[in-house]
A and B are shown apart, each in its own frame.
Chain A
Amino acid sequence: MFSRAYKAVVTLPPLLWVTVFLLIPYLLMFCYSFWSVSAEQTIVHAWRLDNYRELLRVGVYWQTLLRSMWIAGRVTLFSLLLGYPLAYYLSFHAGKWKDLLYQLVIIPLWVSYLVRAYAWKTILGSDGVLNTLLQYVHLTKHPLEFLLYSPFAVVLTLTHIYTPFTFLPIYASLEHIPGNLVEASQDLGASPLQTFWRVIVPLSVPGVLAGATFAFVLSLGDFLAPLLLGGPSGIMISNIVVSLFGAAYNWPLGAAIAFVMMVLVVGLLFLSERLEKKWSFS
């Protein structure tokens, strides 16, 4: 319906920008992963698989990757456990409070990530709010050390960050369920609990998948929470990459890890997308 000139004007600029600032950089990262660093700290443009061999050989890399996936998995699980019931409650039981409560869920989303991570740091520290509170009411005598600078702190903080993110698509898919389906199910003899498992849950799967994927992928690649709250035992794969681009100065190796992460993430996205299509019915 629109003229070709119009289409060209509309399509070319974003296409160009995306090519220059997204496609080329990602390709560049791919290229870097094959290069190496010389003794004089310059990048040698020689094409070898050395970096990838190093990743497979040296334990710390794939161990950290696995630990990161374990942390991301827990974050995803807890975010879902918090987000799904919340979404269900708002969608089916909140009545006239629904919109207000929805806004209340969104607000923390837009409060700075850094601010929220920092807040948990002040709460979980040995002189932090939680420890001093526990001591104040005489529940503990000494500060609990494991609260901060541990994987626990990272999981807790990231769960806090990503619960609204799992809530959103689950809420959207629950809202999309036509009211008459719930009525039809009850009309046919299903109790509310049976209706929940047979009708509501299957129809909310796409939302769950979207939220879970989002939470998992972003937790996996997170480096800020571990830096602030993770301590030595809470290091995640992105931290290794950060140091390789910083003090440890080995850009190519860092690029290799980053590229592996990217492949992993894109693979997960494809998988999630396929599953969502299979479970999407309207």
Chain B
Amino acid sequence: MVPITTSDRPALAGSVSPSAEPLLRIRNVAKTFGKNVVLRDVSLDIAEGEFLTILGESGSGKTTLLRIVAGFETATAGEVWMGGERLDPFPPYRRRVNTVFQHYALFPHLTVEQNVGYGLRVAELPAEEVAPRVEQALGMVKMTAYAHSKPSTISGGQQQRVALARALINRPRLLLLDEPLSALDANLRRQMQVELKSLQREVGISFVFVTHDQEEAMVMSDRIALLRSGELEQVATPREIYSHPATAYTAQFIGHTNLLRAEVKKGVARFGSISWPVQVPDGRVLFSLRPEKIRLAGASGATTGDAVPFRGTVRHQAFQGATELLQIESPDGVVLSVRIASRREWRGELEFEFSPSDAVPVRDSRERV
């Protein structure tokens, strides 16, 4: 197995682990449907006990990647390894991998209890063994009271728990979750995010979670793998990916940002009337500046330390509960989004500042290696 070099793609440095034997290795996987290329050369390692999210828009290929690991699709190229042996030749029913489906896929003709015990019964375990394990699994997801109900009589959130129990009871080495929370309403979703995360820690097995919701990914994951048009854009921890996005796409997909296309000359970046010191080579460079990193200048109007000043008028104000998102326009037409703590309505001309290190250089378009 040829190890891939990540030196020219530092964004993907986190995708493969150099030392400890990972649980799952995805190597150069590609998938084409007819003329449609859905995945191109994806390589990713998943460690034991980690919660990894594959994040991407619809059409990015994230579900396809998941299905290849589950065994419902075969990769057109590349390999998948689990625990040192190749996973590809095995059909889904012979992989130690279980899936929680997007619409739960509970068997309508079986009760909750029968659904949960399905995998054990199929493996022909004796009834005396199945019953207590089912009970325990139901208890783990707090669905004991519904053991004899049919799926059509319980709510979406409850169905999802049953689907979880049904998958986990088989003690898989890896649990795949295909956008399991997308059908739930906002509050329930937030609640389930927390529950899922603590469940994963409790059970200790690796979860691979697929979603298009970047906030969800950041809340739950140990690591995020951002997939774009069939290729990995960046693989890193949530904090890392947020504060040091590798590309403009990443910066914009995860959270809000201002993109400054600046001209760099002799260590100084210039964007309209704003300029700040940088440590990148000369040329046109794109910088990502998060709105919350721009703060109001000190009351006296003087700038602090090496902070970069920016002055402009409030064009628009959006109240967002804990914060306000302001659109500020400078006299020479530069518009920046600024996030500040909510207090009052803002009007007229204001002075802001930000630290040069908060302007992170990002790659504009993905360069093919």
Q: Are A189 and B93 in contact (CB under 8 A)?
A: yes
Q: Are A190 and B93 in contact (CB under 8 A)?
A: yes
- Of A62-70, A97-105, A180-188, the one with at least 4 CB within 8 A of chain B: A180-188
Q: Are A181 and B105 in contact (CB under 8 A)?
A: yes
Q: Is B225 an interface residue (CB 8 A)?
A: no
Q: Are B122 and A188 in contact (CB under 8 A)?
A: yes
Q: Which residues of A contact B105 (CB under 8 A)?
A: 178, 180-181, 183-184
Known: A194-B122, A198-B122. A187 touches B92 (CB 8 A): yes
What is the bound-complex CA distance between A237 and B70, given in angstroms?
58
What is the bound-complex CA distance between A191 and B72, given in angstroms?
13
* CB nearest to A178 among chain B residues: B105
The 0/1 profile, CB within 8 Å of A marked 1, for residues 100-142 of chain B is 0111011111000000001100110000000000000000000
> Which residues of B166-197 are within 8 A (CB) of A?
166-167, 170
Q: Are A180 and B170 in contact (CB under 8 A)?
A: no
* CB nearest to B122 among chain A residues: A190
Q: Is B270 an interface residue (CB 8 A)?
A: no
Q: Are B108 and A188 in contact (CB under 8 A)?
A: no
Q: Is B255 an interface residue (CB 8 A)?
A: no
Q: Is A38 an interface residue (CB 8 A)?
A: no
Q: Are B103 and A180 in contact (CB under 8 A)?
A: yes
Q: Are B122 and A183 in contact (CB under 8 A)?
A: no
Q: Which residues of B contact A25 (CB under 8 A)?
A: none
Q: Are B99 and A189 in contact (CB under 8 A)?
A: no
**Chain A interface category by residue count:** 20 to 34
What is the bound-complex CA distance between A184 and B166, given in angstroms?
10
Q: Are A186 and B101 in contact (CB under 8 A)?
A: no
Contact of B107 among A184, A187, A189, A194 (CB under 8 A): A184
What is the bound-complex CA distance between A189 and B117, given in angstroms?
12
Q: Which residues of A contact B167 (CB under 8 A)?
A: 187-188
Q: Are A199 and B93 in contact (CB under 8 A)?
A: no
The 0/1 profile, CB within 8 Å of B marked 1, for residues 165-205 of chain A is 00000000000001011011111111100100011001100
Q: Are B107 and A183 in contact (CB under 8 A)?
A: no
Q: Which residues of A contact B93 (CB under 8 A)?
A: 186-191
Q: Are B119 and A188 in contact (CB under 8 A)?
A: yes
Q: Is A281 an interface residue (CB 8 A)?
A: yes
What is the bound-complex CA distance between A232 and B286, given in angstroms?
94
**Chain B interface category by residue count:** 20 to 34
Q: Are B108 and A189 in contact (CB under 8 A)?
A: no
Contact of B98 among A187, A191, A199, A281 (CB under 8 A): A187
> Which residues of A188-244 are within 8 A (CB) of B?
188-191, 194, 198-199, 202-203
* CB nearest to B67 among chain A residues: A183
What is the bound-complex CA distance between A191 and B105, given in angstroms?
17
Q: Are A281 and B109 in contact (CB under 8 A)?
A: yes
What is the bound-complex CA distance between A191 and B91, given in angstroms?
9
What's the nearest-Cβ distance from chain B to residue A187, in Å? 5
Q: Is A41 an interface residue (CB 8 A)?
A: no
Q: Are B152 and A186 in contact (CB under 8 A)?
A: no
Q: Are B170 and A188 in contact (CB under 8 A)?
A: yes
Q: Which residues of B contact A190 (CB under 8 A)?
A: 93, 118-119, 122
* CB nearest to B106 among chain A residues: A184
* CB nearest to A281 among chain B residues: B108
Q: Are A188 and B109 in contact (CB under 8 A)?
A: no
What's the nearest-Cβ distance from chain B to residue A272, in Å? 18
Q: Which residues of B contact A188 (CB under 8 A)?
A: 93, 98, 118-119, 122, 166-167, 170
Q: Is B150 an interface residue (CB 8 A)?
A: yes
Known: A183-B92, A187-B98, A189-B93. A202 touches B109 (CB 8 A): yes
Counting chain B CB atoms within 10 Å of each CB, the highest count among A178, A180, A186, A188 belongs to A188
Q: Are B109 and A189 in contact (CB under 8 A)?
A: no
The 0/1 profile, CB within 8 Å of A marked 1, for residues 73-102 of chain B is 000000000000000000111100111011
Known: A199-B107, A281-B150. A186 touches B91 (CB 8 A): yes
What is the bound-complex CA distance between A202 and B108, given in angstroms?
10
The 0/1 profile, CB within 8 Å of A marked 1, for residues 50-79 of chain B is 000000000000000000001110000000
What is the bound-complex CA distance between A52 and B235, given in angstroms?
84
* CB nearest to B101 among chain A residues: A180
What is the bound-complex CA distance between A63 and B211, given in angstroms?
68
Q: Which residues of B contact A199 (CB under 8 A)?
A: 107
Q: Are A282 and B118 in contact (CB under 8 A)?
A: no
Q: Which residues of B contact A185 (CB under 8 A)?
A: 107, 118, 122
Contact of B92 among A181, A186, A279 (CB under 8 A): A186
Q: Are A181 and B107 in contact (CB under 8 A)?
A: yes
What is the bound-complex CA distance between A40 and B108, given in angstroms?
64
Q: Are B170 and A189 in contact (CB under 8 A)?
A: yes
Q: Which residues of A contact B98 (CB under 8 A)?
A: 187-188
What's the nearest-Cβ distance from chain B to residue A183, in Å? 6
What is the bound-complex CA distance between A191 and B99, given in angstroms?
16
* CB nearest to A182 among chain B residues: B105
What is the bound-complex CA distance between A183 and B72, given in angstroms?
7
Q: Which residues of A contact B103 (CB under 8 A)?
A: 178, 180
What is the bound-complex CA distance between A105 and B123, given in angstroms?
38
What is the bound-complex CA distance between A246 and B119, given in angstroms?
64
What is the bound-complex CA distance between A184 and B163, given in angstroms?
10
Binding site for B on A (CB under 8 A): 178, 180-181, 183-191, 194, 198-199, 202-203, 279, 281-282
Kindly list the 9 A-B residue pairs having the minimum CB-CB distance in the complex, ordered from nearest.
Answer: A281-B108, A188-B119, A184-B105, A180-B105, A190-B122, A186-B92, A281-B109, A186-B93, A187-B99
Instruction: List 10 additional A-B contacts (Cβ < 8 Å) besides A187-B71, A189-B93, A189-B123.
Output: A180-B103, A181-B107, A185-B107, A186-B91, A187-B98, A188-B98, A189-B170, A190-B119, A203-B109, A279-B109
- Can you name 12 A-B pairs with beta carbons within 8 Å? A180-B103, A183-B92, A183-B101, A184-B99, A184-B101, A184-B105, A187-B71, A187-B92, A188-B118, A188-B122, A189-B119, A190-B122
